A and B are shown apart, each in its own frame.
Chain A
Amino acid sequence: MSRTSAHLERAGIPTASIVGTGFTGMFDLLSAGLGIEGLPRAEYPGMVATDPDDVLRAKVATTLVPRLLTALGSTPTPKAAPHREPAPADIVCRGDLDEVQEHFTREHWTDGLPVVPPTLDRVRRFLDHTPRSPEEILGVLPPEQRAATVWNVAVNGVMAGCRPEYLPILVAAVEAVCDPLFRVEDIGSTPSWEPMVVVSGPGVRKLGFNTGPGLLKVGNQANTSVGRFLRLYLRNVAGSRPETGTDKGTIGFTFNVALAEDDEALAGLGWPPSRVEQGFDMADTVVTVRSVVGTASPLYSSGATLDEHLASLVQVATTTTGGWVGIGVAKNHWHPLLVLNPSIARLVVAAGWTKDDLRRHLYENTKVPAQWLDRTLADGGLTGTTLDSLVREGRADPVFAESADPDRLVPAFLRPEWTDIVVSGDATRNQSRFLINNHNQGVPVARRVTW
């Protein structure tokens, strides 16, 4: 919302923004990141979502309106340029390991874990692994509107515990995040999503990514440090931090370990890897970054027939998406990820199915009660928005409002082609996994790695 107000102010239209108590700090920080101090706002006291109608009306009349009048009369100012900030190669701290950790903790440059001290020597060793200039600007990241450069990618890669040779993967991940389609400006949204790096291509084996047991657990240096890197980068360059108020994720979870696709398993199946489906060449290594806002209960599937496994996939997909797909319907974006075990994929292939056949089956057969979605829309604060209203406004497919029965079943997948399938994991087990993204926030964006 601060984006809207700042935009209007720059267009010469005075504004006053209504901000609930829990968001005043974030509003001020985001506004400052947009170059404006004192962007006028009026605080609605307390929490809108739980106030009865009469309480809301009283609060607006007696408290909010006077504050709005004050805000409408106040004039924001340009944000002062920061005191001289360090140049890339400036030394910001000298000390032993403990002193460096303390300094970085005070400055909010860590994720709560010790970091590898980013010395010039270590950073330069990273830069030896890219032909790109350290000064190259990959993008500008909100909320602090700081430049993402190859240099500061290397610095954070050092800190995260990456090996120098991972740098091209890290650069590609940041390039993906800088794409406007990804919507990194929403990284601090209430539902608390975390980015996930998905790696597909020869770089998986070259750099030693894990595609076997413990696929998404910490433990493998490549998977773990690359995942940690991206979260650290979004703290240190984008400026998204819960403790300073720029990240309003309410509960959240930890950083996602990078997911690596198993090319050898796919070759045995005759299925194309995800990067080829995305339009890249087989010889490319591709990084895709996507949001993950939730994961499923364990997805065991068993039986000698495909139908038995499909039944399990559909059942778990149903409970995974739950009502949250309602927000996906409202935002017209919904990009689930199925991490499919190679042994299960083998069964699917043996039945003569392609990945698209599996996508279509999930799309046609995974359905949830409409009232789950309507309830979630209400709980998420989307005032007056229901499946019925979305269909009437032409914003949702008519299939979502074929009757008024709240128990009617509606699709939990919006488009078959929006379901990503990555084959990976311990082929001696029968576990797969669904991960859901946060609708239009963190739409999967892919970049080719440049070595």
Chain B
Amino acid sequence: MTDDPTAPEFAVVWPSGPIRTQEFTPAPRPDDWSGRTIAFVWDYIFRGDEMWEVIRAELTDRFPGVRFTGYDGFGNIHSTEEREVLAALPQRLRDRDVAAAVVGVAA
């Protein structure tokens, strides 16, 4: 703040804009993953394929009957076709009876 009593004062407005809110209702979570199918949805970067192999092995040890469905056939969520891939993705997951999706990798 200046000591100059003749300095002009400014009344200024906000440089941003209103948020366009989007409705959201969370999906229910299963209590247990035994016997359920977990999908891996991948952006084909940052060694997600290597991670998925380890994740599958670890979860198999912990949850009897857990099933997995990989990223083949889901499309690349980080590609030029991202919008088309996302539009089709929920049904593709439902067709495979997926209970939850592990999505990766951002790094």
Contact = CB atoms under 8 A, between A and B. Distances in A.
A-B interaction? yes
Given A48-B105, A98-B2, A381-B45, A117 B12 contact: yes
Contacts of A331: 79-80
B90 A53 contact: no
Contacts of B46: 20, 48-49, 381, 383
B105 A78 contact: no
A214 interface: no
How many residues of B sit at the interface, in one of the four size bands? 35 or more
A271 B40 CA distance: 52
Contacts of B86: 3-4, 7
A18 B52 CA distance: 10
A60 interface: yes
A309 to B, nearest CB: 34
Interface-central residue, B13, B25, B79, B90, by most chain A CB under 10 Å: B13
A168 to B, nearest CB: 19
A427 interface: no
Interface in B7-62: 7-30, 33, 38, 41, 43-51, 54-55, 57-59, 62
A322 interface: no
Contacts of A218: none
Contacts of A72: 29, 33, 38, 100, 102
Interface residues of A, number: 97
A243 interface: no
Given A78-B24, A140-B20, A146-B16, A1 B47 contact: no
Given A16-B100, A48-B107, A117-B12, 7 more contacts: A4-B89, A19-B104, A19-B106, A19-B107, A65-B58, A89-B13, A145-B22
Ranked 4 nearest A-B pairs via Cβ: A20-B107, A18-B104, A11-B90, A35-B22
Interface of A: 1-5, 7-20, 22-23, 26-27, 34-36, 44, 47-49, 53, 56-57, 60-61, 64-65, 68-69, 72-79, 81-82, 85-86, 88-100, 104, 109, 117-120, 123, 140, 144-149, 152, 155-156, 159, 180, 232, 236-237, 239, 331-333, 380-385, 440
29 contacts: A1-B43, A2-B106, A7-B86, A10-B24, A13-B94, A14-B101, A18-B103, A19-B104, A19-B107, A20-B46, A56-B51, A64-B55, A76-B26, A85-B19, A89-B13, A92-B12, A93-B12, A96-B4, A118-B12, A118-B15, A119-B10, A144-B19, A149-B17, A152-B14, A159-B15, A237-B15, A381-B45, A381-B46, A383-B48
